[in-house]
Amino acid sequence: MAYVDTDLTRGFDVPKTSPEQIVQCALDGLEAGAEEVLADELTQRLKQAMTAERPGYLQAQQA
């Protein structure tokens, strides 16, 4: 998970996921027998970028 809307991230001006959404996603993953749960969009995009044929962190070097 990335940023969760808690006291710890109160001062961050970034999109945040509610704790309830994180817990629900984790429980859904457990019930489904998932080996990995990516609980928010930012984390899903990061995983996709890092596991792409040409990882996202190398994309900037193409220019």
Q: What is the mean pLDDT of each run of 10 residues along the chain (63 residues)?
A: 95 96 96 96 89 74 53
Give the tokens for residue 57.
């962190």
2 lies in some domain: no
Domain count, the chain: 1
Give the tokens for residue 55.
């990882």
39 lies in some domain: yes
44 lies in some domain: yes
1 lies in some domain: no
Q: Note the pLDDT of residue 62.
A: 54
The pTM (predicted TM-score) of the whole model is 0.73
**Residue 53: which domain range?**
7-62
What are residue 41's phi and psi, to 5 degrees? -65, -40
B/e letters for 21-42, b = 16+ CB within 10 Å, e = fewer, are ebeebeeeeeeeeeeeebbbeb
